[in-house]
Structures are given as C-alpha cells and as structure tokens.
Structure 1
C-alpha cells in the first residue's frame, strides 16, 4: 500500500463547485445543494483503500455527530474504475450500505473534481466554513493501519469544533496519509 500525503492547499481557498451523481440515491448534486449551514466536510475516499477501511467507522461517527450541528458531509470517489473496478459506482452503493453511510457518496468519473480540489489521497479531508472557504485540510488523527494508535478523529473533530464555535485553530494542520488517487 503506497503512502501518499495530501496536498496542503492554502486555507481560505474557495470550495470548487461540482455536479456529481450520488451512488446512494442516483441523484446529481452540486456542492451548493449539499453544503451545511455552518460548514461542509468533503472527504475523498474509495471502497478498497486500507486507510479508508481503517477510518470509516470514525468517519461515520463524525458525520452523525456533526450533521445535526449544521455540518454538511460529502464523500467523493475519483478513482479510475477501469483499472480499479472495485471502486465502480454500483460497488460504492454496496459499500455505503454495508458501512451505513447515509450521506452522499458521489462518483467523480472524469476526475475533474479531484483535480479542482487538488486531492491526492484517500482519505483526504477538506473542511469549508459557512462562506465556502477552506478552514481545515489534513488528517483525521494520528491513527494508521497497524500503527497501534486508536482512532479518535481528534484532529478533524477539533477543527470542526473550532469552526462551529468560532474558535481559532491553534494546532498545526498535518496532512492526511493514504493511498494515492488512482488517476487515469
């Protein structure tokens, strides 16, 4: 498993808009239709990455904890499904059902959305404020597959709390680490 770090794009960057098909509902959505009233968490992920499989329970808990507080949650898969058929839309639907993902899991077939976000790995986390400006980008926490550190979501949870409660982020934002996005 290749370890790729996320690209740490500048804070304050505007959220790219998109129109992508949700594999849970078969509806097409834009960023504006899915964003939250207080902020929006965009997660680039896929079905087969061991880093995603390691953190998916915490992602689900974070989504459930914060959506009721006005945070929109959006997952996007941008992998090349010709080379990685396990990430195909119909398998994304199964993955979402299996893991009880009830937020949109969008398929970026052209990979243009991943490029617009400068996404590099799975999982890759982007937290935007209510004005659609990047507030946090980086890791969920220090846990990785087989490193013995338990999942906590501490880095991302601290960022979301700071956003919701209008606090300044004090900690250094560390890049996420995961599998590289499978480019065409």
Structure 2
C-alpha cells in the first residue's frame, strides 16, 4: 500500500472556495454553505483507501462530538473514477450510509478543489478557524493500518479543541499519511 504524506500547506492560508455536489443529499453546496460557527474541517477521503477505512469510525465520532459545538464538517472525494470506479458518486453514497457519515460527502469531479487545497492523500485534514484561515493540516493520530496503535483522533481532536476553546495550537503538526489522490492524467 502506497504511503503519501500531506503537503502541509502554509498555516494562515484562506480556505479555497468551491461549489460541489453532495452525494448524500444530491444538493450542491459551497464552502460558505457548510462552514461552522466555530471552525470548519475539510477532509479529503475516498471509499477504497485502506487508510480511510481504518479511520472512518473515528472521523464519524469526531463529527458527532464536534458538530453540536459549532464545527462544520465537509468530506470531499477527488479521485479519478474512470481508473477507480469504486470511488464513483453512487458508491460514495453507499459508503456514507454503511459508515454513518451524516455530514456532506462531496464529489470533486474536476479535481480542481483538491488542487486548490494542495491535497495529496486520503485522508488529508484541513482545519480552518472562524476567519477561514488554515490553523491545522496534519494527521488524525499516530494509528495506521497494521501498526497496532489504537485510534484516538488525538492530534486532530487537540487541534479542534484549540479552535473551539481558543487554546494554543499543538506543535509540531505531523503530516497525515495515506493513499495518494488518484489524479486524472492528461
């Protein structure tokens, strides 16, 4: 299994704007439609990546714990569905249902959104504050498929707590590791 790290975009970067179709509802949403009152978490993920499958339950728990506290959550799949049909929108809907993903799971068909975020892997986490400035980009925690470390979400939860409760952000931020985004070739 390939291991690709996050690109670690510069902190303070403004959240790129977008408008994408939600595979859970069939509605189109923009970043501004979905951002939270206390901050916004954008997650690049997909259906078939073993790293995403490994962490999806913890992502759902984080969503359930923090949505009520004002965190907006947005998941985006940007993979090339011609080469990876298991990531097609109708299967995204099925994946979301099977894994209780109740927050928007958007399809980035053109891959322009992934490029604008400088996303590199799945999962890739981007946490923005109330001013839509990037304050965290990094890993969920140290758990990886097969390494025996239990999931905790500790790195991401600490960053979210920092945003919601105005605490000092954890340092250093470690990159996420996952499958590379499956880019379309020209």
Q: Normalised by the shorter chain, which TM-score bucket?
A: over 0.9
Map of 1:172 onto structure 2 = 172
Deviations 1:125-148 (A, max 9, x none): 000000100010000000000000
Map of 1:124 onto structure 2 = 124
| 3-state secondary structure, aligned to 1:68 | helix
2:158·2:170 contact (CA, 8 Å) conserved in 1?
no
TM-score normalized by structure 1? 0.99
| 3-state secondary structure, aligned to 1:2 | coil
Structure 1 runs of 4+ off > 4 angstroms?
none
Map of 2:65 onto structure 1 = 65
| Distance in 2 separating the partners of 1:60 and 1:169 | 22
Deviations 1:25-59 (A, max 9, x none): 00000000000000000000000000000000000
Map of 2:40 onto structure 1 = 40
Post-superposition offset of 1:168: 1.3
2:8·2:138 contact (CA, 8 Å) conserved in 1?
yes
Structure 1 unmatched ranges of 5 or more: none
Output aligned runs, 1:3-152, within 5 Å: 3-152=3-152
TM-score normalized by structure 2? 0.98
Structure 2 unmatched ranges of 5 or more: none
| Distance in 1 separating the partners of 2:133 and 2:162 | 14
Number of residues of Structure 1 aligned to a counterpart in Structure 2: 184
| Distance in 2 separating the partners of 1:10 and 1:80 | 26
Post-superposition offset of 1:170: 3.4
| Distance in 2 separating the partners of 1:173 and 1:31 | 24
| 3-state secondary structure, aligned to 1:179 | strand
Computed over aligned residues only, the root mean square deviation of the Cα atoms, in angstroms, reads 0.4
